[in-house]
Structure 1
Amino acid sequence: MLRPWLSSGAVRALSRAPRSLRPILIPRNNFSSASNLQIDRVPLRKQLKQDAKSLKAQKKQRKENEEASRQEWELTVGVEIHAQLDTAAKLFSRAATSTSATPNSNVALFDLAFPGSQPKFQPATLLPALRAAIALNCQIQPVSRFDRKHYFYQDQPSGYQITQYYEPFARNGYIDLFDYDGIAPEDGERVRIDIQQVQMEQDTAKSQEYPGPTSTQLLDFNRVSHPLIEIITLPQIHSPATAAACVRKLQSILQACGAVTTGMELGGLRADINVSIRRRSEVLGGLGQRTEIKNLSSFKAVEDAIIAEKNRQIAVLESGGKVLGETRGWTIGSTETHLLRGKEGAVDYRYMPDPDIPPLVIGEDLITRLQESLPMAPDTLLLQLIGPEYGLPIEDAKPLIELDDGARLEYYQDVVDILHKNGLDKSTKAVLARMAGNWVLHELGGLLTKADQTWHADIVPAQSLADLIDHLKRGLVTGPMAKQVLASIFDGDRRPVPQLLEEDNLLLRPLSREEYISLAESAIALNPKMVEQIRGKQLGKLGWFVGQMMRMGEKGRVEAPKAEMILRELILGEKA
């Protein structure tokens, strides 16, 4: 450790001295003589500007490198999604499915592979799987079969996983991705990704590792045989952003049709990504050697892991090496993927038809009934929200669909329905719908973020928010006062909004024109220089004067649009 050349007592004395009198303490080996001692002082603001400029330059360089890489190398990505189905029972036993039950409390003998126990397919588990396949535009196979995929690991008690490898229940589907889904700009406005197959399979046990000298691993067999679907796309994706958009879109479709328990955020959906690289000049030679990145648990992880693996493969090939077929992992915050094991193939898994499970036969009448009862698809719902009925900007419509597993959208629609009961004309209904979108997403969302709370519909009753928006639209309360009332309701005030406004004396009592002029003249008199700046076309400073008038006036009575109108009249000579 480097030490200053002053004694500890001297250091303590200097620390109590005024800052302007303190010397700068420099370790001995930082200079060779007094003559070459030089201290460079950089002002903080200048340093921050330099740092920001450096970061901007780095981002620009990274973007240029990415573009150059894209011109020379073609990235190809395939996606495999494992999603937990929303069912009451497990796939091959009557044990309950639960993510929160006491560990190892919902386990049947078959789940633990007890000798002599037999699988019994639970027909109800097929329903959410079929809804998912129909929503993904798949062809439902009238007959499908289950296979055994052999591998040995502590979370797989039987030594094999039951899946559908040879004859899955659904094939040949697709999803469409649009520019508003976040696909890469080079993919244009729309790209279609084909789905090779959707298969049912059982989940494994949940492992929990505890670090320490013994490296203990605990296993919770509640998750064994939880019904899964695996969705396998064709390798048709050529950018990390589009791959992340694909996973995000798949999750939204599965949630919209009620097929899955939760999304990626809570572990109900996991993504495996297959990545390969080839030179664009070698496109006739087929795809490059692929590697698989396992168990990605967020959309950002999907994008970041693909970028890292692409760069790794390019570096290997440019150095004369050879990309090996491997299974690799990814840690959030990393810049490189890491090797897990060599890549297994069908031979390694020794797939074989399961002799204990009969074929699964699906009737056409069941498919038709499910098609007729399927909820609205996310894309259709988005078009409805940005259409004339709601008139939302797409920046608001998409979060409403995606947030909180659709619960935020249901709440928004409840608020709009209450507002529409007032029997207003269509144009006013659209205005109220846009106002409701803003308040549900931004005002209420801001309170949730500030309080670090998760969404639930009772946090502010839909009736209360609708009443508040109605009062605001009718000019009975100002915007700032409405935000204050929303915060009170958020904090637990359950009085009806009309009662709350009346009892707390928050209803707007409009100022007269004379009162607005008096406030404006007082503000103007205190700030003559700023008045001249506004007359010099610095109109943005009008907002500052509006704020001064709102501070000077009685709380809740000054309306910003009227205040600005009076200011424009007095300062700029504009007539209303």
Structure 2
Amino acid sequence: MLRPWLGSGSVRSVCARLSRSTLPSRIAPFSSAPRRYLQADHVPLRKQLKQDAKALRSHKKQRKESEEASRQEWELTVGVEIHAQLDTEAKLFSRAPTSTSEIPNSNVALFDLAFPGSQPEFQIATLLPALRAAIALNCEIQPISRFDRKHYFYQDQPAGYQITQYYEPFARNGYVDLFDYDGIAPEDGERVRIDIKQLQLEQDTAKSQEYPPSTQLLDFNRVSHPLIEIITMPQIHSPATAAACVRKLQAIVQSCGAVTTGMELGGLRADVNVSIRRRGESPGQHQYDGISGLGQRTEIKNLSSFKAVEDAIIAEKNRQIAVLESGGVIEGETRGWTIGSTETRRLRGKEGSVDYRYMPDPDIPPLFIGEDLLSSLTENLPTAPDSVISVLVGSEYNLPVEDAKPLIELDNGLRFEYYHDVVDALRTLQVDQDDKTRASLPRVAGNWVLHELGGLFSKADRAWDADIVPAQSLARLLDQLQRKRITGPTAKVVLSSIFDGDRRPVPQILEEDNLLFRPLSREEYVALAESVIALNPQMAEQIRTKNQLGKLGWFVGQMMRNGEKGRVEAPRAEEILRELILGS
């Protein structure tokens, strides 16, 4: 086997003169080199990709099996706390702007810095987005609420306390419904309701930036930015459902215009409380949020993505199970999570209400909320996301839920508004078409807005901008496609051209660039099909005698490749091929 690799006889004679005694002891004889070469660790890229994909599938399978096994033996309980920045121009207790993109420490009032003698000035306008969020989350609005001081010392909180609403928040007893299309765990069924204990107003802290080994810079532009804290009851029993809950809460508060941005831009952060108890054993001795019999909880702070929520809960659950199975005890503590990590890390011992020394703030009067204000806000509240999804998947639009959800969630609702503009314009252009064609228009528009146009934005790494491809332009393009004046590939080329800056009207682009579809005659189809069949008679015979109809697709591809670009229609090509090969 090795001789061909060694080459000519002269090379072999040279090798023969190299005895083992002439080689260093740690070097193998030359004759073994080919074997080592053939067995090297070099792996072709395609094989490596297949191996990586197989390993990933195996890892997911093992993780799923491990999750299932632990779920059968251990009960996980999770509560979520979300801090979301409200969409306001002024801060909670000062008139300083809330913009955090300005020069550091440029949007700061004296009270934000706890300057001696400065007093809080509650900005009434900050209450409006908070109330919209509370109404959208089905909460009971309290007619009277008060502010409290939560005492702790840290450099990002200059006053030594944070102003929040602990004892008498402005909203209580809400709920959020999660459905299977929200991504909840299969064991939770089609729907699960998570109760919301309360919503409270509070001020944000400064933004800190570390420069190792010992420097930390503080930007007080964020201090006193208005926040709402949404506290759910500990009723979640799956990491996937916890992540779905955070995602759904974000979608709701965004849809009603309550918050600035979501998790992806740092406008929303999540903390999760995690506890474990073995199924079938006597209930635990711990209680929180009115639910008793739970295991000792730990809190994981400042999770900044939905994936981080799910992964951190899985890691903490596994850690607690390992501690309990080894005879240890879970300590009440605050823990941290780093993206890409496999375990949580201890930050500090868990504080309780006694440690924070909550007390009513003596400088801020009670907050009174009238029924007339609530009625006005409720009447003008946008339609809830679940209601919008129900409409989109209904008979009027007939979208799959996989398209309906991203349409209303992407780009803070801008994608959804654009989609509606396209559908309205397309329906006007197609007013002369039959009912069946018109009924398909919303689905066609959804596909192009989400996948074709959305793909161009993703590929260019650009933020959504409806002016780049005006809705009227896309509607005119789809109108031409629906009327079969252009092919799908041609429509994609034109869309890309408009995206890249071509501002000519769609009809002008099609006319000047000679893109209008000119269908082939029957005679042209037959001649093209016969030429392809003549070049591959054996494959045609296999289709005819062995009924290998799958090979028709290959012939269709050859016809489209050999024919004039954009003029060969696949269904018509297959029809002619069947006629010539099968006689049908």
Query: 1:233: which partner in 2?
Result: 232
Query: 1:349: which partner in 2?
Result: 356
Deviations 1:315-367 (A, max 9, x none): 00011111101111111100001111111110111100000000000001111
Give the residue type in structure 2 aligned to 1:567: L
Task: Establish whether residue 543 from structure 1 lines up as the match of residue 544 from structure 2.
Answer: no
Query: 1:79: which partner in 2?
Result: 80
Query: 2:134: which partner in 1?
Result: 133
Give the residue type in structure 2 aligned to 1:223: R
Map 1:16-27 onto structure 2 (within 5 A): none
Map 1:17-416 onto structure 2 (within 5 A): 39=36, 41=39, 44=44, 53-211=54-212, 213=213, 215-282=214-281, 284-285=283-284, 286-416=293-423
CA distance in 1, matches of 2:30, 2:275: 59
Task: Establish whether residue 480 from structure 1 lines up as the match of residue 489 from structure 2.
Answer: yes
Per-residue deviation, 1:32: 8.4
Query: 2:573: which partner in 1?
Result: 563
* Closer, same or farther: CA 365–48 of 1 in aligned 2, 3 Å: closer
Per-residue deviation, 1:109: 0.9
Secondary structure, counterpart of 1:195 in structure 2: strand
CA distance in 1, matches of 2:569, 2:379: 51
Query: 1:573: which partner in 2?
Result: 583
CA distance in 2, matches of 1:137, 1:89: 26
Q: Mark the runs of 5 or more structure 1 residues left unpaired by the alignment.
A: 1-20, 22-26
Secondary structure, counterpart of 1:421 in structure 2: helix
* Closer, same or farther: CA 179–125 of 1 in aligned 2, 3 Å: same
Query: 2:444: which partner in 1?
Result: 435
Give the residue type in structure 2 aligned to 1:247: V
CA distance in 1, matches of 2:116, 2:49: 68
Task: Establish whether residue 509 from structure 1 lines up as the match of residue 509 from structure 2.
Answer: no
Query: 1:9: which partner in 2?
Result: none
CA distance in 2, matches of 1:238, 1:165: 26
Q: Mark the runs of 5 or more structure 2 residues left unpaired by the alignment.
A: 1-14, 16-22, 285-292
Per-residue deviation, 1:571: 2.2
* Closer, same or farther: CA 192–392 of 1 in aligned 2, 3 Å: same
Identity %: 80
Per-residue deviation, 1:551: 2.1
Deviations 1:422-441 (A, max 9, x none): 32554333211111011111
Tell which deviates more after alignment, 491-500 or 545-554: 545-554
Q: For the aligned residues, what is the CA RMSD?
A: 2.2
CA distance in 2, matches of 1:50, 1:98: 48
Tell which deviates more after alignment, 457-466 or 536-545: 536-545
CA distance in 2, matches of 1:534, 1:454: 49
CA distance in 2, matches of 1:110, 1:93: 7
Tell which deviates more after alignment, 99-108 or 360-369: 99-108
* Closer, same or farther: CA 405–508 of 1 in aligned 2, 3 Å: same
Give the residue type in structure 1 aligned to 2:483: R
CA distance in 1, matches of 2:314, 2:56: 19
CA distance in 2, matches of 1:490, 1:419: 19
CA distance in 2, matches of 1:184, 1:67: 11
* Closer, same or farther: CA 54–85 of 1 in aligned 2, 3 Å: closer
CA distance in 2, matches of 1:481, 1:187: 45
* Closer, same or farther: CA 32–499 of 1 in aligned 2, 3 Å: closer
Per-residue deviation, 1:48: 6.4
* Closer, same or farther: CA 33–515 of 1 in aligned 2, 3 Å: closer
Secondary structure, counterpart of 1:457 in structure 2: coil
Query: 1:494: which partner in 2?
Result: 503
Give the residue type in structure 2 aligned to 1:90: K
Per-residue deviation, 1:53: 4.8
Tell which deviates more after alignment, 416-425 or 46-55: 46-55
CA distance in 2, matches of 1:312, 1:300: 18
Secondary structure, counterpart of 2:363 in structure 1: coil
Per-residue deviation, 1:206: 0.9
* Closer, same or farther: CA 551–297 of 1 in aligned 2, 3 Å: same
* Closer, same or farther: CA 393–116 of 1 in aligned 2, 3 Å: same
Query: 2:5: which partner in 1?
Result: none
Per-residue deviation, 1:552: 1.6
* Closer, same or farther: CA 506–327 of 1 in aligned 2, 3 Å: same
Secondary structure, counterpart of 1:317 in structure 2: helix
Per-residue deviation, 1:454: 2.1
Per-residue deviation, 1:261: 0.3
Secondary structure, counterpart of 1:531 in structure 2: helix
Per-residue deviation, 1:521: 1.4
Per-residue deviation, 1:41: 3.0
Tell which deviates more after alignment, 344-353 or 424-433: 424-433
Secondary structure, counterpart of 1:251 in structure 2: helix
